[in-house]
Amino acid sequence: MSTQRIALAAICALLLVTILSGLWLWRRLVTTLAPQLSSTATATASPVLTPTPLRAPLGYRLAGVAVGEPDSFAVIEAPNGSHTLYHLDADVPGLGKLVRIEAERVLVQSGAGEFEMWLAPAATPTPTPVRSPIRRSPTGRAPAGRTPTMQTRVAPVATAPPAAGRAPGSTPSASPGPPVS
């Protein structure tokens, strides 16, 4: 009977430790996430109309960014295709003042307001033609008048042996029975 009391006491002790550790973890989680939850709750609780963000003038492109501890730089492409390296607080002709440089975007302050430019790939000067594979005929030859640019292997078509009483290469008629003359 004493072993049953010892087992019951051990179970109660383990249950108490589990509950206390759960409460400790819950309290730590709430204190860690409370500032984040309150800031998002207040941001969503009071809807404020924000003006539509300005866009960069057409033709300008953020070609590159170099973010460093003392200095950061941005490479901006002008509509004429020239690239220029700008540092923070530099005046970009045709855009405005470079206010912030981040890893993938920059913020520019113009007379109309602040707008952002994101890294964008350069446009290709000419479209790349799409090559289609050349299908070879069962004889293994390319169609006449075409120069092969890309070759693909096509498995040969397996043909069944001719049935008894039928000439090789002939096709069966639509109706069963002897041919009508």
Each residue's pLDDT tens digit, 36-56:
655 555 555 555 555 556 777
Specify which residues 172 forms β-bridges with.
none
Q: What is the pLDDT of residues 136-150, one digit of tens each?
A: 666 766 555 555 555
Distance (Å, whole) CA 134 – CA 148? 7
Distance (Å, whole) CA 41 – CA 35? 10
What are the backbone angles phi and psi of residue 34, rounded to the nearest 5°? Answer: -60, -45
**Strand 96-101 relative to strand 105-110, pairing:** antiparallel
Q: What is the pLDDT of residues 159-177, one digit of tens each?
A: 555 555 555 555 555 555 5
pTM: 0.42
Nearest to 115 by CA among 48, 164, 57: 57
**Residue 18 — very low, low, confident or very high, per pLDDT cuts 50/70/90?**
very high
3-class secondary structure, 111:
coil
Q: Say if residue 179's pLDDT is above 70.
A: no
Distance (Å, whole) CA 54 – CA 57? 9
